C-alpha cells in the first residue's frame, strides 16, 4: 500500500497529459462555417463600392472574422462558430446595402433615361414645329410674292390694254373694233384690219396666261338667223387671224351675238354703224374672266 501512494503523483500526471492530448486531437482542423465566413467577407471586400457605402458592415464583418480566426487558433470551436456566423451575417448585410444602392441607381438611371427620351421627343417636336412655322412663313412669303407679281402683271396688262384703247366694264377689259374690219355683209377681214390685230396678237404673246372671248355683233337689219350667222363668222374670222399669229386656239373663243346686244338705236344709220362691231373681252393674266363675261372659257 505504501508503494501505491508513492507512485500516485506520477499516475495523475500521466492521466492529465493523456487527457490533454485527447482533447487537442479532437479539435477540428477545418470548420465549414468559418470557410463560408471567409468567402462572404472576401466577396464583400471585392465589391467596388464596399468602402463607400458599406464600410461599417465591412469593418464589423472583418472584426468578427478576425475573432473567429483567433478562436480557431485557440481550438475554441464554439467561439469559432459564433464569430463566423456574425462575420457572414455582417457581410451579407453589407451586400444588401450595396444591392439597395444599385437598385436606387438603376431607378435613377431609368428615370434619367426616361427624362432624356422625353426631352429628345420634345426637342424633335419643337424642331418639327419650328420647321412647320418656317415652311408656313416661306409659303406666306411666296404667296405674297406671287400676289405682288400678279398685281404687277395685272397692272402692266391693264396699261397695255388701255394703250389698245380697251375699256374697263363689268365684263372686264373690253376692246371694241368697229365695222371698219369688214365690208358690208361680209366676214372677210379688210387689209386695214391687220395692224389692229397685230397689236392684239402681240399683247397676247407677251401675256401668255391671258384668254379672250371674241363677240361678233350686227345691226337689226336682216333676219335673226342671218345676223346670228354673220356675227359668228366675223368673230371666227378675228379668232382665225389671231391663230395665224401663233395664238393657241385654246385661249380664244368666238361667239356670234347677232343683233341681241345693241349699244345704240338701230333707227339711224349712225346707230346701226355702232352696233356693227366686234368686241374682244380680255381675261386677267391668270386666265380668269370677270363675273359679267359669258362664254365657255370662263
Domain 152-282 has CATH 2.60.40.1260: no
pLDDT at 182 over 70: yes
pLDDT at position 283 is 96
pLDDT at 7 over 70: no
CB 188, CB 199: distance < 8 Å: no
For 245-267, the pLDDT digits (tens) are 999 999 999 999 999 999 999 99
**Helical axes 77-163 vs 55-73, angle rounded to 10°:** 160
pLDDT at position 29 is 77
Instruction: Write phi, then psi, for 71 (nearest 5 degrees).
Output: -65, -35
Question: Nine-digit cell at 190?
Answer: 379688210
Residue from 257, 182, 251 nearest 227 by CA:
257
Q: Please tell me the pTM assigned to this model.
A: 0.55
Q: Please report which confidence band the pLDDT of residue 11 belongs to, taking 50, 70 and 90 as the band edges.
A: very low
168 compared with 11, residue with greater pLDDT: 168
The residue whose grid cell reads 450595396 is: 98
Domain positions in the chain: 27-138, 152-282
Amino acid at each position: 500500500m505504501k508503494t501505491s501512494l508513492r507512485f500516485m503523483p506520477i499516475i495523475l500526471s500521466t492521466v492529465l497529459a493523456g487527457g490533454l492530448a485527447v482533447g487537442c486531437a479532437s479539435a477540428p482542423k477545418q470548420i465549414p462555417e468559418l470557410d463560408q465566413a471567409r468567402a462572404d467577407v472576401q466577396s464583400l471586400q471585392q465589391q467596388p463600392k464596399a468602402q463607400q457605402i458599406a464600410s461599417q458592415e465591412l469593418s464589423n464583418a472583418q472584426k468578427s472574422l478576425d475573432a473567429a480566426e483567433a478562436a480557431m487558433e485557440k481550438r475554441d470551436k464554439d467561439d469559432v462558430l459564433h464569430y463566423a456566423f456574425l462575420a457572414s451575417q455582417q457581410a451579407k448585410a453589407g451586400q444588401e446595402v450595396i444591392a439597395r444602392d444599385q437598385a436606387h441607381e438603376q431607378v435613377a438611371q431609368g428615370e434619367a433615361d426616361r427624362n432624356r427620351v422625353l426631352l429628345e421627343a420634345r426637342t424633335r417636336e419643337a424642331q418639327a414645329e419650328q420647321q412647320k412655322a418656317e415652311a408656313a412663313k416661306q409659303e406666306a412669303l411666296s404667296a405674297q410674292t406671287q400676289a405682288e407679281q400678279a398685281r404687277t402683271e395685272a397692272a402692266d396688262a391693264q396699261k397695255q390694254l388701255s394703250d389698245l384703247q380697251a375699256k374697263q366694264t363689268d365684263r372686264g377689259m373690253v376692246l371694241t373694233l368697229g365695222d371698219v374690219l369688214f365690208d358690208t355683209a361680209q366676214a372677210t377681214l379688210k387689209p386695214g384690219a391687220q395692224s389692229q390685230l397685230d397689236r392684239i396678237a402681240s399683247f397676247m404673246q407677251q401675256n401668255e396666261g391671258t384668254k379672250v372671248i371674241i363677240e361678233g355683233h350686227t345691226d337689226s337689219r336682216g333676219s335673226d338667223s342671218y345676223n346670228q350667222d354673220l356675227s359668228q363668222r366675223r368673230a371666227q374670222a378675228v379668232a382665225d387671224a389671231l391663230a395665224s399669229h401663233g395664238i393657241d386656239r385654246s385661249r380664244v373663243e368666238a361667239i356670234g351675238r347677232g343683233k341681241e346686244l345693241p349699244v345704240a338705236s338701230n333707227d339711224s344709220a349712225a346707230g346701226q354703224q355702232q352696233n356693227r362691231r366686234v368686241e374682244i373681252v380680255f381675261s386677267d393674266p391668270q386666265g380668269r374672266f370677270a363675273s359679267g363675261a359669258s362664254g365657255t372659257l370662263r
